[in-house]
C-alpha cells in the first residue's frame, strides 16, 4: 500500500473477500448484556500484516498480531466492528480516510485468536 513515501490506493488491490460484522447487544435478564456478532455486509479488502507485538498480560507474555485493512468507504467499517475472513477474525481498533478523498478507509485491526 505504500511505495516510498507515497500511499498507493488502487481498487485492484482489494482482492480478499471478507464479511463485516457488527456487535448486537441484548439484555441477559440479570442486568448485564450478551453480545452476538451479526454479519453486516460482504466486501473486498486488502490485508497487510504488521510486525507482531509483545504484550504482558497478568503473568503471561502474549504475541499480538496487528493488520492494516484497506476497504472502500461506505462499507460501514467502524471501531468496535470486525472483519471475518474465513475463520480469521480481525477486530477493528481505528478507522480513517488515508488520503481524505472519501474513496477508501484504512482500518488498524488486531487478530482475535
Check whether 5 has a pLDDT greater than 90. Answer: no
Residue with cell 482500518: 107
Q: What average pLDDT score do residues 45-59 get?
A: 88
80 vs 7, which has greater pLDDT?
80
Paired sense of beta strands 33-49 and 82-85, if any: unpaired
Confidence of residue 39 (pLDDT cuts 50, 70, 90): very high
Distance separating alpha carbons of residues 76 and 55, to the nearest angstrom: 30
54 vs 16, which has greater pLDDT?
16
Domains of the chain from N-terminus onward: 13-112 (2.40.10.270)
Check whether 80 has a pLDDT greater than 60. Answer: yes
Look up the pTM and report it.
0.83
What is the tens place of the pLDDT at every residue in 21-37? 999 999 888 888 999 99
Round to the nearest angstrom and report the end-to-end CA distance of the chain.
25
Amino acid at each position: 500500500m505504500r511505495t516510498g513515501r507515497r500511499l498507493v490506493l488502487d481498487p485492484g488491490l482489494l482482492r480478499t473477500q471478507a464479511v463485516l460484522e457488527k456487535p448486537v447487544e441484548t439484555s441477559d435478564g440479570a442486568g448485564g448484556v450478551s453480545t452476538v456478532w451479526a454479519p453486516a455486509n460482504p466486501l473486498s479488502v486488502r490485508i497487510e500484516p504488521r510486525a507482531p507485538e509483545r504484550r504482558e498480560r497478568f503473568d503471561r507474555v502474549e504475541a499480538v498480531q496487528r493488520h492494516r485493512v484497506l476497504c472502500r468507504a461506505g462499507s460501514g467499517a467502524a471501531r468496535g466492528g470486525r472483519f471475518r475472513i474465513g475463520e480469521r477474525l480481525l477486530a477493528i481498533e481505528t478507522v480513517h480516510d488515508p488520503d481524505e478523498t472519501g474513496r477508501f478507509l484504512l482500518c488498524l485491526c488486531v487478530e482475535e485468536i
